[in-house]
Homo-oligomer: A and B are copies of this chain.
């Protein structure tokens, strides 16, 4: 064994307190290690404390555990398109500049200054949102942005309206907080504003690319929603899901830019444009909520980890982020068109595409299959290595639409044809 190995082993033992080094005398087993060696046959009960009952009704997501050969799951970008070679030097540069900093204290709860400034400029350019860095709070993705808003705005027992069907994680968050979740139907024009019940404190919507249906909320609906919110003294939480990936012209104005009464809170994320594991998102709050939002972030976890915030700030500021989004957008568009063509051509008897012009997924409603039949098809597809989501999975109420949701963030372009061929066979059998 080399001398270095032995030295490392001794250093670890000393570091962990197992041995004591006495200069000039040698190394000795420490007193407590000698004691601990005798061991105790300790047996802890593991069942005394129970969690609040609400947690029994919240499922833990399992979808991301099993990798699929043909992966049409939604919510995932293509990690092979991530600009690793540009990202690594940016992270390294932040680490080097940290070396020169003599004091590293807790960050401001609102987030890294440079990132907030970069986000404010970026959403000004790309989404027409007028915001200063002071309007922005960096969060751990969309999910934490919604958690912070729930803390700031909603008491247990309050009601929040969500789109039906709806992204599952936010719904579960609201339920876990004792907030009553009301599903409101979505049609081809977006959320059916006339179906919003009274007594709702907040409405959570994905107007750019409804998740999971994929429709874009029309301008008329956007205006109706804002008027409704004003009449009912409600808040609108605008999750700009997929808003960065527009393929046909410019999308409609965000609700936030149409809002004249300060009722809209805008939520954005870098999970799809960059990587979900970065856990970086943000929200833009009206100034009446700014202090409370910062306080809610502070009590939640002080602030978001700074290293990747600083690297992302540099990536946005040097134009790399906008170029990256444009580049991957072209690839996603190609995949989208491939899938749409195959669905129209080979699945015409079974599925009808929901018209949509942007994003990372396509939704197709079933022409005849029941919810149970779609579940069987999903299971058969899984058996041959094809992962898809059922539309019914996202239903809030009882009246589930039948259909499937096809994401194209995680599947390479070259695998799409074969994956859909296998999926088609599952519809026939």
Contacts and interface: CB of A to CB of B under 8 A. Distances in A.
Contacts of A46: 262, 286-288
B319 A304 contact: no
Contacts of A326: 14-15
A126 B32 CA distance: 11
Contact of A144 (B65, B178, B249, B300): B300
Interface stretch (A94-102, A350-358, A421-429): A94-102
B125 A16 contact: yes
Contacts of A156: 156, 178
Of the candidates A17, A31, A59, the one having the most CB atoms from chain B within 10 angstroms of its own CB is A17
A60 interface: yes
B105 A60 contact: no
A114 to B, nearest CB: 14
A216 interface: no
A156 B177 CA distance: 10
A172 interface: yes
A323 to B, nearest CB: 5
Contact of A49 (B103, B235, B280, B323): B235
Interface in A119-135: 125-126, 128, 130
A326 B339 CA distance: 58
B299 A279 contact: no
Interface string A40-76: 0011111111111001001111001101000100011
Given A46-B262, A278-B305, A279-B304, A103 B257 contact: no
Contacts of A144: 300-301
A349 interface: no
A206 interface: no
A151 interface: yes
Contacts of A280: 305
A50 B288 contact: yes
A206 to B, nearest CB: 17
Contacts of A235: 49
A82 interface: yes
A125 B11 CA distance: 14
A298 B140 CA distance: 11
Given A32-B249, A263-B49, A60 B109 contact: yes
A12 B44 contact: no
Contacts of A71: 103
Nearest to A43: B260
A250 interface: yes
Interface string A74-114: 01100110101101100110011011011111111100000
How many copies the complex holds: the figure is: 2
Contact of A153 (B14, B51, B79, B176): B51
Contact of A79 (B50, B91, B102): B102
Contact of A106 (B80, B173, B276): B276
Nearest to A302: B143
A148 to B, nearest CB: 10
Interface string A242-257: 0000100110000001
Interface stretch (A289-297, A365-373, A394-402): A289-297
11 contacts: A8-B319, A15-B325, A16-B126, A50-B288, A51-B292, A55-B296, A60-B294, A79-B102, A103-B410, A277-B307, A278-B307
Interface of A: 8, 11-12, 14-18, 30-32, 36, 42-52, 55, 58-61, 64-65, 67, 71, 75-76, 79-80, 82, 84-85, 87-88, 91-92, 95-96, 98-99, 101-109, 125-126, 128, 130, 139-141, 143-144, 147, 151-156, 169, 172-173, 176-178, 235, 246, 249-250, 257, 259-263, 275-280, 286-289, 291-296, 298-308, 319, 322-323, 325-326, 410
Pick the 9 closest A-B CB pairs, nearest first. Answer: A15-B322, A51-B292, A140-B301, A79-B104, A55-B292, A144-B301, A32-B250, A173-B299, A46-B287
Given A18-B125, A141-B302, A172-B298, 16 more contacts: A12-B323, A15-B322, A42-B260, A48-B263, A49-B262, A52-B292, A61-B109, A64-B108, A67-B103, A71-B103, A104-B276, A105-B277, A144-B300, A176-B299, A277-B305, A279-B304
